[in-house]
Amino acid sequence: MKWRTFRADVLPMWVAEMDTPLAPAIATALAESIALGDTGYAVAGRLAAAYASFAERRFGWAPDPSTMHVVPDVNIGIYEVARVVTEPGDAIVLDTPAYPPFFVKLRAAQLTVVENPMVRTDAGYVPDLDGLARSFDAGARAYLLCNPHNPTGAMFTREALETIAALADQYGVRVLADEVHGPLTYPGATHVPFQSLDAPAARASVAFASASKAWNLAGLKAALAIPGPGAVDALAALPEDLEVSASLFGVLAGEVAFTEGLVWLEGLMAGLDHNRMRLAARLAEDVPEIAYVPPAATYLAWLDCRALGLGDDPARTILDRGRLALNSGPAFGAAGNGFVRLNFAAHPELIDEAVRRIAQAVR
């Protein structure tokens, strides 16, 4: 998808997957499965237990693997869970800019999406807690927390999450937590799983996790819906065939990633850390009008192009004039007007080439 959506002269740095070989242990496990002819329907296997062990080592959080549900991917998991924990017409709050498929899936679940624009600071983005309180007070029944945040790469502090939990308790709001980028954090940043908080809202929440982003497995299709103790019964209403809609290869690869892929992940993060700072240096040198704060997590750069005077959708001009494909900011909600999202999980030389093409487009 990444390399075939546009013409051959276009450098694609948009869709959130990485230009990297598989972790060797994952490649070996998949090859062995093929050699065995093991290509049937999936069951959960050891994926849930593998993730629980990983989460305890990495985040100090020990979710119960016996309550987890395998789903094809995080977005489908959010859609299916939202359908069973809300009623048609309920309002659900999103911190914007927000991952575009959230809008599609939540509206398909017959929910009313309420945008809560994040607050932009010199150090990056933080959630607008006052705006969240207003939306909850206005009758929202659910909140989709994306942490680490896509597209800004922001990490929610423990203090912010505790405030969110208190607000959710006060107003009776169900929290759904997309934490798929949790493993992709840089030095100085710490991912705090929402369910690790000591709060009723955390125990009633549902988290979503997968190896898909951190180990570059998006096409293999397997994720986990993780209910807190107070949400276990609600998830019993999920469709019975949801688990077998996941991919066997996704389940196998995810299990190996969480158990044997940690050294590979550390190497990956070193490379991504280099790239996020290389991008900052190149932009400052060649296109200083673009404002960019290196993310605390993810491999996504959220670039403020408003000073360039390219209108609400700079990605269109950059594609037309620079032959560089980026994500269009307006697709992330009204807070994305004038912005683009760039995926820097690529060879370092392509970071340089991307900035050269942006400069070409705007000069």
Domain of 311, CATH number, reads 3.90.1150.10
The letter for the amino acid at 253 is A
Cβ neighbors of 188 (< 8 A, separation 6 or more) are: 296
Q: Does residue 209 contact residue 51 with C-beta atoms inside 8 Å?
A: yes
> Would you say residue 4 lies in a domain?
no
What is the average pLDDT score of the chain? Answer: 97
Quick one: 254 and 344 in the same domain? no
Can you give 19-71 as a three-state secondary structure string?
CCCCCHHHHHHHHHHHHHCCCCCCCCCCHHHHHHHHHHHHHCCCCCHHHCEEE
Assigned domain for 5 exists: no
The residue-averaged pLDDT of 224-232 equals: 98
Question: Mind listing the pLDDT tens digit for each residue in 79-109?
Answer: 999 999 999 999 999 999 999 999 999 999 9
pLDDT of 235: 97
Residue 313: helix, strand or coil by DSSP?
A: coil
Q: Count Cβ atoms within 10 A of the Cβ of residue 278 and give its class: 0-12 exposed, 13-18 middle, 19 or more buried.
A: middle
Query: For position 44, what pLDDT does the model report?
Result: 86
CB atoms within 10 A of CB 37: 7
Boundary (domain end) residue, out of 228, 260, 292: 260
* Burial track 84-120 (b if 16+ CB lie within 10 A, e otherwise): ebbeeebbbbbbbbbbbbbbebbeebebebbbbbbeb
Per-residue pLDDT tens for 256-285?
A: 999 999 999 999 999 999 999 999 999 999
User: What dihedral angle (degrees, nearest 10) is formed by the CA atoms of 221, 100, 93, 233?
Assistant: -10
Say whether pTM exceeds 0.85: yes
What is the domain range of residue 323?
A: 11-22+263-362
Examine the domain organization and report whether 155 and 206 are in the same domain: yes
Per-residue pLDDT, averaged over 180-201, amounts to 97
Among the listed ranges 23-32, 236-245, 305-314, which one has the minimum average pLDDT value? 236-245
Q: Which of 120, 165, 111, 166 is nearest to 140 (CA)?
A: 111
89 & 210 share domain: yes
Peptide bond just before 97 cis, omega within 30 deg: yes
Task: At 65, list the tokens.
Answer: 């693997």
Gap between the Cα atoms of 146 and 198, Å rounded:
19
Which residue, among 203, 198, 128, has the nearest Cα to 162 in the 3D structure? 198
What pLDDT is recorded for position 43?
87
Tell the residue number behind the tokens 């983005």, with chain if given: 125
Reference 183, options 280, 241, 266; nearest CA is: 266
Angle between helices 47-59 and 248-260 (to 10 degrees): 30
For residue 123, what pLDDT is reported? 87
Number of domains in the chain: 2
Domain end marker among 260, 286, 305: 260
